[in-house]
Structure 1
Amino acid sequence: MRVGRLPKPAVVVLIAVAASLALGAGPSSAQGRGEPPCDKPPASMEINRPIPAANPPRPPTSTPTPTPNRPLSPSRLAASSAPSMTKDTATAVIPASSPAPASAPAAKPPLALDPKQLMASLQTVGVFALVSLAPAAVLMVTAFVRINIVLILLRQALGSPQVPGNQVLTALALLLTALVMRPVAEVVYLRGIVPYASERATLSEAWEAGTAPIKAFMARQIQRTNHQHFLWQLYDYVAPPGPGQVDPKYVEDFPLRVVAPAFLLSELTTALAIGFSIYLPFLVIDLVVSAVLAAMGLFMLPPSLVALPLKLILFVLADGWLLVATMLLQSFEGG
């Protein structure tokens, strides 16, 4: 068989086809020879951003088409107009006997304080204030101040600041005050309270008659303790001396607003003087005990610890409570 020579264009085409086949079969031939293939990342390692879902399209809103008004029938027209006509006629026709609508209440004027009510309220407040201050005021113009202060100083002189207690001392002072003030209270009751209760005297007259015995008691106590200078100093402050002014001749002639504070100052001074005389025996006991302990070299032992039992036993043996109570009652004799 005779093979003819191919033309040049055909040779060129064959060479191109062979080259393309050689390039396409490169990887497969490499795998066949045992060469490692090219490394590619697995598809599972790739992380892709999720694509947001698109909003679904909204259906187009259909606009309602206006329906043409149809003419009503005569029967429907009469039925729809009947209630309105009835309402109009009901509101239009108002019987003559119906009451007129109530008008809005008029605004009240601002509250004004009545002078009488104001004075009555002030009097009530004043009465309550006097009632609350009356016990303290009564105690200040009686013998309670002197007696109570002397008993408190006696307790301190004994060296026992808690025994006896305040309630016990106050009760004892009140009982002794009742004994001292009993004659004065009887006179006040007979001259002031009885006439006012029987409507034989007015309130001012009963006040003058009732305060006169109390003022006389205070004045006599001031004169008894030689404290008249308290009266004159307070009187000069209340009523300064001037031309034509007449000074009081007797102690009872001083006004109550001068006698009461002067009596309180006099009682304080007298109570401290009595307390000093009570303190002296107990002070001697303290000094003797301190000297004995110092001579024995017992510097760590408190002197009050040894002096307290000695004070108590001496006070009890001397019947000290009775002596103090009798001395206090005798200090008001002639009052």
Structure 2
Amino acid sequence: MVRKLAFLVPLMTFGFLSVANAQEPAGTLLSGIDLGSSKGITNTLSIILLITVLSIAPAILVLMTCFTRIIVVLGFVRNALGTQSTPPNQVLIGLALFLTLFIMGPTFSEINQHALQPYLAGKISQQEAYREATSPLKEFMAKQTREKDLALFMDYAKMKKPKEVTDLPLRALVPAFAISELKTAFQMGFMIFIPFLVIDMIVSSVLMSMGMMMLPPVMISLPFKILLFILVDGWNLIVKSLLMSY
């Protein structure tokens, strides 16, 4: 994962590290494995929690940023063109990551300025750093989340409507934001498919009228779709649409 995309990971793990590195009782060589004392149990549980957080952190960060919308739209573009595995998955994922960093740059800068750096300097506690780090993310996600999707999870969990955006619980906001992003991505993908579908229909009609039943329409329409995509500067339009959607 790119370094800037992992701003929240230290905030979620420094607390566990501090417990794991606490002063250990004398006479124990591996106190983290010593289950005979309460402190040994605490250290062991802290290490387990640390490993768990590190394993799911990439998935959490992906769902809390604009990565989902970008990668889905890029996938729709490739499928609409009908170019199979071109561009390859590595290129699409790399482009999606850098676009995510570009769009989320102001949010990450705010997290770094108000949460990460003060915490590393010892000016604020872990709880305060977590609160300062999640506030910009909540504001970003709330702007892109539909009220209907958020109400779905809030009503299911019987949560009261908060007065401020920063008071929204992440366990309701994150899934609501994810399905809102998927809906928006599919709407954009539908609009992308329309011109290429028209080309496929025209080519199929021409081949049918000429009696070329055995010739696959895809072989004829593919060069025309690529030519159209090049002439309209398709990648520029797609990326511009993604940037403007935020």
TM-score bracket for this pair, using the shorter chain length: 0.7 to 0.9
> What CA distance in whole angstroms lies between the structure 1 residues aligned with 2:161 and 2:97?
36
1:219 matched to 2:146: no
> What CA distance in whole angstroms lies between the structure 1 residues aligned with 2:198 and 2:64?
35
- Listed as ranges, the matches of 1:71-220 within 5 Å are 113-220=36-143
- 2:181 maps to which of 243, 267, 270: 267
Which of structures 1 and 2 has the larger relative contact order (alpha carbons within 8 angstroms, sep 6+)? Answer: 2
TM-aligned CA deviation for residue 250 of structure 1: 4.8
Counterpart of 1:286 in structure 2 is 200
What do residues 80-122 of structure 1 show as CA deviations (whole Å, max 9, x unaligned)?
Answer: xxxxxxxxxxxxxxxxxxxxxxxxxxxxxxx963221111011
> What CA distance in whole angstroms lies between the structure 2 residues aligned with 1:250 and 1:133?
28
Mark the runs of 5 or more structure 2 residues left unpaired by the alignment: 1-33
> What CA distance in whole angstroms lies between the structure 2 residues aligned with 1:263 and 1:164?
28
> What CA distance in whole angstroms lies between the structure 2 residues aligned with 1:112 and 1:256?
34
> What CA distance in whole angstroms lies between the structure 2 residues aligned with 1:123 and 1:301?
64
> What CA distance in whole angstroms lies between the structure 2 residues aligned with 1:295 and 1:319?
32
Counterpart of 1:31 in structure 2 is none
Larger Rg belongs to = 1
Asked whether the 8 Å contact 1:234–1:262 carries over to 2, the reply is yes
SS of 2:104's equivalent?
A: helix
Asked whether the 8 Å contact 1:219–1:252 carries over to 2, the reply is no
Q: In structure 2, do the counterparts of structure 1 residues 121 and 253 end up closer, same or farther at CA, with 3 Å as the change threshold?
A: closer
SS of 1:184's equivalent?
A: helix
Counterpart of 2:150 in structure 1 is 231
* Higher percent of residues as helix: 2
Q: In structure 2, do the counterparts of structure 1 residues 122 and 319 end up closer, same or farther at CA, with 3 Å as the change threshold?
A: same
- Identity fraction in percent: 42
Counterpart of 2:219 in structure 1 is 305
What do residues 208-239 of structure 1 show as CA deviations (whole Å, max 9, x unaligned)?
Answer: 011100011000111xxxx2011111011222
> What CA distance in whole angstroms lies between the structure 2 residues aligned with 1:112 and 1:294?
76
TM-aligned CA deviation for residue 311 of structure 1: 0.4
Asked whether the 8 Å contact 2:69–2:181 carries over to 1, the reply is yes
> What CA distance in whole angstroms lies between the structure 2 residues aligned with 1:117 and 1:185?
36
1:315 matched to 2:229: yes
TM-aligned CA deviation for residue 259 of structure 1: 0.8
> What CA distance in whole angstroms lies between the structure 1 residues aligned with 2:122 and 2:85?
50
What do residues 154-198 of structure 1 show as CA deviations (whole Å, max 9, x unaligned)?
Answer: 100001121110001001111111110000000000111111111
* TM-score, normalised by the number of residues in structure 1: 0.62
